[in-house]
Amino acid sequence: MTKTKIKIEQIHDVVCSWCPIGYSYIKAALKQLDEQIEVEFKFLPFELNPEMPKEGESIEDHLKRRNNWNTEELLRYRKNLVETARRAGLTYDFGKRTHYWNTAKAHTLIHFAEKFDKQEQVNRVLIQQYFTEGLNVDDAESLANIASSVGLHRNDVIAAFTSSEIAAEMLVKQARVHRLNVRSVPTFVIDDSELVPGSNSVEFFVQYFSNLLAKTP
C-alpha cells in the first residue's frame, strides 16, 4: 500500500499547558494510521508572553491576574489540567513547575533543531524538563544541555541564540503564523493550508485524518 504523505505543523508555545496534550493526542492518532500515512511533522513558534521578563512570573500569580481567578478557581483548573495531562501520558508537576518563562530562546532551539531533523526529539525533552522537572526554559546553558542530549553541538546552539541569520529565519516563521491569523495554541496546520485548533482527542484526530484519506485521490 502506498502511504499518503501529509505535512503537519504544530503552532505552539513551549510553556503552553495544552500544547503537549494536543501533541500527545495527535501522535497517538497518527500511530493508529501509520500504515496509511507518511507524516512530516514540524513546529512553528507562538510566544504567549513575548514580553515576559528574565525573572519569569509565577504561574499562580499569572493565571489569577489574567483570568481574575481566586485560589479555589485556580486549584480547580490545575486539578483538571493535571488529570487531562495524565490521560495523555504526561506528568505535570506544579511542585516543580512554578513559573512561566520567556520562550524566545527555546523556540530558537527548536528552529535550529529542524536543520538536523531533531525538532520532535527536542520538543519531547523540553516537555519532560519543563512540565515535570520545572526547567527554566529561558536559560541558555540548560537549553544547550538539551541540545547536546539529542546529539546537537551545544556551542552551535549557544551561538544560534545571538545569530542575526537565525533571528531573521525566526521572523519569517513568526510572520507566517501571523498571516494564518492564529488565535490560540495549539493549532495544527495541515498541508500548509487547513487549520485544526485545539488539543483534541485521539478519536477526533483519527476521524479527521480518516476523512482526509477518504478525500485523497
Within 13 Å, how many C-alpha atoms sit on residue 65's CB side? 6
Alpha-carbon gap, residue 32 to 206, rounded angstroms: 8
pLDDT value, residue 217? 76
Question: 145 — phi, psi (to 5°)?
Answer: -65, -40
pLDDT value, residue 205? 98
Q: Which CATH number is 23's domain given?
A: 3.40.30.10
pLDDT value, residue 68? 98
Q: How far is CA 172 from CA 59, 63, 142, 145, 159, in A?
A: 30, 30, 26, 26, 19
Task: Provide the domain count of the chain.
Answer: 1
Quickly list DSSP for 107-173: HHHHHHHHTTT-HHHHHHHHHIIIIIT---TT-HHHHHHHHHHTT--HHHHHHHTT-HHHHHHHHHH
The model's pTM: 0.96
DSSP three-state, residue 97:
coil
Provide the domain limits for residue 43: 4-215
How far from the centroid of its chain's Cα atoms is residue 41's Cα? Answer: 12
pLDDT value, residue 82? 98
Question: 6 — phi, psi (to 5°)?
Answer: -135, 135
Which helix H or strand E contains 190, and what residues bound it?
strand 187-190
Question: 15 — phi, psi (to 5°)?
Answer: -100, 5
Provide block-wise average pLDDT over 10 residues at a time, the chain (217 residues).
Answer: 94 98 98 97 98 97 98 98 98 98 98 98 98 98 98 97 98 97 96 96 98 90
Q: What angle do CA 162, 123, 84 make, to 5 degrees?
A: 135
Contact 154, 148 (CB under 8 A): yes
